[in-house]
Structure formats: C-alpha cells, structure tokens
C-alpha cells in the first residue's frame, strides 16, 4: 500500500462532474492535466479505459504492459499506466485507497450470464456503457478497441498458488486516486452498475471526476 494524499484543491479545478451510479463519462485529458476520481460514498468501482487522443484506434491502456513493466499486479501511487505501444499514458500521483485492480476486467451482459445465472443478461453492465460511449463518441472506436480496463477502488487479490479472489473493497467514502496525463488522452469511465457481487457493495453510488490544469 502506498497511500499518498494530494495537495490539489477542488476549488482550483477546471472541471468537476458527478457521475451517477451506472452512468458513463468520457473526457479528453490534456498532457500535464490531472484527473482525480473520487469514490464519493465509498465501495464503488470505476471501470476505466484510456485512449491516445492522437490515435485512439491505435493506442489504448494496456493492463498487461502496465503490470509487467512495474513487476506488480496492483496499481497505486507511482504506477505508470502504459499503453499497448509501450508509452506512458498517465502516472498515478496520489492515492488514498492504496490498491486498484486491472486484471478483473469489466462486467458485461454475457459475463454476468456466465458468472451468476443465464437470466442475468438484461442487467446493466460496464461493457454496455463502454460500447454505448464509443458509439456516441465520434472517435471511430469499435468493440475491437475495448481492451482490458482498470477497476479503480476494486480489490482483487491474487495468491502465489494461482487463485484470484474478489474481496470487499478497501475503499471508503471520499477516497480518491489521482493521475497526471503524460500525453493527450481520452478517458472513458463506467461507474459500475454491478448488483451481483461486492465490488460496489451491492449498492452502486456516484463518482466525482475532477480535472486540474
């Protein structure tokens, strides 16, 4: 755990947006700008993808390149979020939660069927949010570009015996993670609507997105 609070004050921000549970948020973050994601009421999951603004179809956040480059599977202060082309997209500069997942992926109608029951298909999901957002966005993105994402505020421990567990969040009300863009990026966040597991404490709640110049 690498807890580090931020010096940035929300009143100095250039943009503040509350994202209700189950909604998606997409924004361009310019190089040098800082994005903070706030877990307003606690125990929320922020399923997050990044695309290179100059080449959204050619460059996106890569979970495996990020974890292998740092030699560790969890994201926290100091983690460089690396693209599929090996470039650093953003650096996590502050984190009051301490650990974030990037192997668990996003929920989808079909994965909910597999994981919980075949009749769960009609439930809302993060991948539906991703697909809706990219269809509306005009960046030319398609389902091909929906790569493995980050789950900010989610706790998915691995063991050296090869198991992977979904545990209760270690996040709490007001905890946040902050990252500085090292290139111009598009951020796409699904405020997870999952009601079948504890990733959102069975009660999805709002996130706040704050951007500083």
Partner 1 sequence: MPATPIAESRIVHHEHVPGGRYWSMVVRRGFTLRLVDTHGTANVSLLGYNPMNTLERYNMADTLKGQHVSRLTQGDMLFSDMGRVMLSIVEDTVGWHDPIGGISDADSIHERFGEARFQEHRNDFYRNGRELFLIELAKWGLGPRDLVSPVNFFQKVSADDDGDLHYSADHSHPGASVDLRADSDTLVILTTAPHPMAPGPDYNPGAVDLSIYRSAPVRDDDACIHRRPENARAYANSLIANCQES
Provide the binding-site residues for partner 1, judged by CB under 8 A: 57-58, 63-65, 67-68, 71-74, 84, 86, 99, 103-106, 108-115, 117-118, 127, 142-145, 147-148, 156-160, 162-166
CA 72/CA 206 separation, integer angstroms? 29
Nearest CA-CA partner of 146 in 133, 164, 161, 159 = 133
Rounded to a whole number of angstroms, the minimum distance from the CB of residue 206 to partner 1 is: 25
Cβ neighbour number for residue 84 with a 10 Å cutoff: 15
Rounded to a whole number of angstroms, the minimum distance from the CB of residue 142 to partner 1 is: 8
CA angle 10, 43, 5 (to 5 degrees): 40
Tokens of 128: 């539906």
Please say which residue, 7 or 159, places its beta carbon nearer to partner 1. Answer: 159
Rounded to a whole number of angstroms, the minimum distance from the CB of residue 28 to partner 1 is: 20
Rounded to a whole number of angstroms, the minimum distance from the CB of residue 179 to partner 1 is: 18
With H, G, I as helix, E, B as strand and everything else as coil, classify residue 141: coil
Phi then psi for residue 162, to 5 deg, are 95, 15
Please say which residue, 94 or 106, places its beta carbon nearer to partner 1. Answer: 106
Please say which residue, 51 or 212, places its beta carbon nearer to partner 1. Answer: 51
Q: What is the DSSP letter of 175?
A: E
Please say which residue, 53 or 166, places its beta carbon nearer to partner 1. Answer: 166
């Amino acid at each position: 755990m690498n807890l580090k609070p931020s010096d940035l004050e929300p009143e100095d921000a250039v943009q503040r947006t509350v994202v209700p549970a189950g909604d998606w948020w997409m924004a361009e973050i310019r190089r040098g700008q800082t994005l903070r994601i706030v877990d307003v009421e606690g125990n929320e999951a922020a399923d997050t993808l990044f695309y290179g603004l100059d080449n959204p179809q050619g460059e996106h956040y890569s979970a495996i390149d990020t974890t292998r480059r740092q030699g560790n599977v969890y994201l926290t202060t100091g983690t460089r979020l690396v693209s599929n082309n090996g470039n650093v997209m953003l650096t996590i500069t502050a984190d009051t939660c301490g650990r974030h997942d990037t192997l668990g992926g996003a929920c989808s109608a079909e994965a909910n069927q597999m994981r919980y029951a075949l009749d769960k298909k009609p439930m809302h999901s993060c991948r539906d949010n991703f697909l809706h957002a990219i269809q509306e966005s005009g960046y030319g993105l398609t389902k091909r570009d929906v790569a493995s994402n980050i789950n900010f505020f989610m706790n998915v421990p691995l063991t050296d015996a090869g198991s992977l567990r979904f545990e209760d969040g270690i996040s709490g009300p007001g905890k946040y993670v902050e990252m500085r863009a090292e290139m111009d990026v598009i951020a796409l966040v699904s405020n997870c609507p999952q009601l079948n597991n504890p990733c959102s404490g069975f009660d999805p709640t709002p996130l706040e997105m704050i951007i500083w110049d």
